[in-house]
């Protein structure tokens, strides 16, 4: 039996002329007991699809039937039988873990006698047992997400709809969440439809649906989706003691004819070709690594499916100049920040050299943003020294600020102003005048390919374009250092690739880039990085140094995510020993 039957579903928002079609005649069938992933770039219609299936959006046109109930008429009947976890699951933060569970048990009419057993099972499964009486608002991001999942599993549902359930949580919680979801299918035979930004999660599903601009591009078993790429995926293995950064190699390969995609990964570069033929490596690269064929992955298929449909931008990466001369431009020593009796940053020290891409990695709540705000002079430090561009931030914050650019987590653009007006405003705010202002504006429109959108309101831009505009505004005054706080959060894999290429180009021109991210695989793009957890630095160095530190004898080098997890586990073990 099919759990979900959708025929010709369309849905649009807003009135003409600003009408936006979120779904355009989508048809699909989901077998009961299957696990399906919904993937696609931002604005593809994933959330609209899940909300429609949950009965909280009315279909514009077409037929929708969920568990045999017709929508929208029988929404209540559907809602009795499904569990739905929205992107930001609304937990009541003033209620404890147990009170949140009780509320959802009440709403689903779970008999009081069954509750204790059900709660203890869910709490064991989510490892939230010790925090039963803690207020939900005081839980970490990963714990909140697990509690949200527990609340949706309370009845237990016949169908589970999950909207990016594991985004923004630390790798350990992400693994646990995935484990819980997987158990639901195996042990309880629950049908699951989930949207995700992680291709490795989608790869583990029975079936994958690729959405793009409200249409289904492809649908099927992940292995079947990637099979057309047989013979088109290659791995260019680089030795661990490479003299230049893998980024330079990447930008060379990306420019070769027939190359669709290149990604830096654990031990080299992954290359996806348009045709089943290896890339023609230039002579100077041939001897520097070994090129191997590699089995295709879902991510390769995803990128090649969207290749050509999404306009991708050829960003020219200049050859590496003598920019990285080793001058230290940012120096942080024994930095602390307290909020009341909570210590957000505990004794953080690191230094950044000119022209480096320096990463701050960690889950939500690790202290990355707090460290960042102190570096930008937005937040005074409680103790410790901070020198940015040779200036002490405690003494000359505004002089230091004139030399840096800052892209905040939510981009902080003026949504009601046009792209050009935003640029003009930031140019004026940085004191640019006359000829210089004019030339910088022209540069920004050209460099970030925003000319076509110059008159559009910043608020109406797709997320990827907002990100570009924010970067353009932060670079108006040609700062030597740019700070980027979670610039890739919520941005799809394609836009993320483009963003990193852009950053690469900036670094090659000698601009120092500081980036925070919770995507572990993005660590590979950094020259050096620090791994943070609960306000402390757990490890720092180049990506290969960090992975080497986490490498267990006799095992292959771990990916950044595995490295992070083993470093955290090691840290927890040693802190337990110490206490």
Residues lying near another protein in the complex (CB under 8 A):
13, 51, 54-58, 72, 75-76, 79-80, 82, 84-95, 99, 102-109, 135, 148, 151-152
The residues, any chain, with a CB within 8 Å of residue 504's CB and separated by 6 or more, are: 247, 250, 251, 317, 357, 525
Reduced to 3 states, what is the DSSP secondary structure of residue 493?
Answer: helix
Smallest Cα–Cα separation from 543: which of 530, 556, 562, 554? 530
State the minimum distance, in angstroms, from the CB of residue 37 to another protein.
20
How far, CA to CA in Å, does 559 sit from each of 171, 546, 551? 12, 10, 10
- Residue 525's Cβ-count burial label (10 Å; 0-12, 13-18, 19+) is buried
Environment class of 282 (CB within 10 Å of its CB; exposed 0-12, middle 13-18, buried 19+):
exposed
If you search the block for the tokens 């230091």, which residue do you land on? 400
Question: How near is the Cβ of 410 to another protein at its closest, in Å?
Answer: 15
Q: Which DSSP string do the residues of 66-79 spell out, in sequence order?
A: ETTEEETTTHHHHH
Nearer to another protein, 65 or 219 (CB): 65
Structural contact between residues 12 and 60, judged by C-beta atoms closer than 8 angstroms: yes
13 or 339, CB closer to another protein?
13
Q: Which tokens is 293 given?
A: 């064929």
For the bound state, the minimum distance from the C-beta of residue 85 to another protein, rounded and expressed in Å, comes to 8
Dihedral sign for Cα 169, 171, 173, 176, please: positive
Q: How far is the CB of 93 from another protein (least distance, A)?
A: 7
User: Of 51 and 247, which has the nearer Cβ to another protein?
Assistant: 51
Q: How far is the CB of 67 from another protein (least distance, A)?
A: 13
CB of 94 to another protein, least distance (A): 4
- Find the shortest distance in angstroms from Cβ 88 to another protein: 4
Residue 358: which of 482, 260, 275, 443 has the closest Cα? Answer: 482
Q: Shortest distance, CB of residue 182 to another protein, whole angstroms?
A: 22
Cis peptide before 354 (omega within 30 of 0): no
CB 363 within 8 A of CB 142: yes
Q: What is the 3-state composition of the chain as percent helix, strand, coil, each rounded to the nearest 5? A: 35, 25, 35
Closest approach, Cβ 386 to another protein, in A, equals: 34
**In 183-232, at which residue ranges do the beta strands (DSSP E only) sit?**
191-195, 207-212, 215-220
Residue 193 or residue 273: which is nearer to another protein going by CB? 193
C-beta of 137 vs 431, nearer to another protein: 137
Contact 455, 347 (CB under 8 A): no
Tokens of 519: 């995507």
CB of 181 to another protein, least distance (A): 17
Other CB atoms within a 10 A radius of the CB of residue 316 amount to 10
Q: Which is nearer to another protein, 83 or 405 (CB)?
A: 83
Nearer to another protein, 53 or 235 (CB): 53
Closest CB to another protein among 11 and 270? Answer: 11
Closer residue to another protein in complex, CB, 87/409: 87
Nearer to another protein, 126 or 501 (CB): 126
């Amino acid at each position: 039996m099919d759990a979900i039957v959708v025929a010709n579903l369309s849905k649009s928002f807003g009135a003409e002329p600003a009408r936006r079609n979120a779904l355009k005649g989508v048809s699909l069938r989901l077998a009961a007991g299957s696990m399906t992933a919904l993937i696609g770039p931002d604005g593809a219609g994933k959330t609209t699809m899940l909300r429609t299936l949950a009965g909280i959006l009315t279909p514009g046109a077409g037929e929708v039937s969920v568990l045999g109930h017709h929508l929208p008429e029988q929404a209540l009947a559907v809602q009795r039988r499904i569990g739905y976890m929205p992107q930001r699951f609304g937990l009541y933060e003033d209620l404890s873990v147990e009170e949140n569970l009780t509320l959802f048990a009440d709403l689903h009419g779970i008999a009081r006698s069954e509750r204790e057993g059900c709660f203890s099972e869910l709490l064991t499964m989510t490892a939230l047992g010790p925090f039963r009486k803690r207020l939900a608002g005081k839980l970490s991001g990963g714990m909140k997400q697990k509690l949200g999942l527990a609340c949706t599993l309370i009845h237990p549902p016949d169908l589970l709809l999950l909207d990016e359930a594991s985004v923004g949580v630390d790798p350990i919680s992400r693994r646990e969440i995935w484990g819980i979801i997987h158990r639901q299918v195996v042990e309880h035979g629950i049908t699951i439809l989930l949207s995700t930004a992680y291709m490795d999660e989608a790869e583990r599903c029975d079936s994958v649906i690729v959405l793009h601009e409200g249409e289904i591009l492809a649908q099927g078993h992940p292995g079947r989706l990637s099979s057309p790429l047989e013979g088109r995926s290659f791995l260019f293995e680089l030795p661990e003691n490479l003299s230049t950064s893998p980024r330079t190699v990447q930008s060379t390969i990306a420019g070769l004819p027939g190359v669709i995609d290149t990604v830096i990964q654990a031990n080299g570069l992954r290359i996806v070709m348009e045709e089943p033929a290896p890339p023609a490596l230039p002579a100077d690269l041939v001897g520097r690594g070994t090129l191997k064929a590699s089995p295709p992955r879902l991510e390769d298929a995803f990128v090649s499916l969207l290749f050509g449909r999404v306009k991708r931008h050829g960003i020219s990466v200049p050859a590496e100049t003598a920019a990285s001369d080793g001058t230290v431009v940012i120096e942080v020593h024994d930095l602390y920040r307290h909020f009341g009796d909570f210590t957000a940053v505990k004794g953080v020290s690191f230094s950044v050299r000119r022209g480096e891409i320096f990463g701050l990695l960690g889950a939500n709540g690790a202290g990355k943003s707090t460290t960042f705000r102190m570096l930008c002079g937005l937040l005074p430090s409680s103790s410790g020294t901070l020198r940015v561009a040779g200036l002490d931030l405690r003494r000359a914050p505004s002089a230091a600020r004139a030399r840096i650019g800052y892209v905040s987590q939510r981009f902080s653009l003026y949504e009601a102003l046009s792209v050009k007006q935003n640029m003009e405003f930031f140019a004026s705010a940085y004191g640019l005048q006359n000829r210089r202002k004019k030339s910088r504006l022209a540069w920004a429109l050209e460099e970030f390919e925003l000319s076509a959108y110059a008159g559009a309101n910043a608020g109406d831009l797709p997320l990827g374009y907002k990100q570009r505009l924010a970067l353009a505004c932060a670079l108006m005054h040609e700062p030597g250092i740019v700070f980027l706080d979670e610039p890739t959060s919520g941005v799809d894999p394609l836009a993320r690739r483009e963003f990193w290429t852009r950053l690469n180009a900036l670094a090659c021109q000698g601009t120092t880039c500081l980036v925070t991210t919770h995507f572990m695989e993005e660590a590979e793009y950094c020259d050096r990085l620090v791994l943070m957890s609960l306000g402390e630095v757990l490890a720092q160095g180049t990506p290969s140094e960090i992975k080497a530190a986490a490498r267990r004898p006799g095992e292959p080098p771990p990916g950044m995510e595995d490295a992070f997890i083993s470093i955290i586990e090691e840290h927890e073990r040693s802190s337990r020993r110490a206490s």
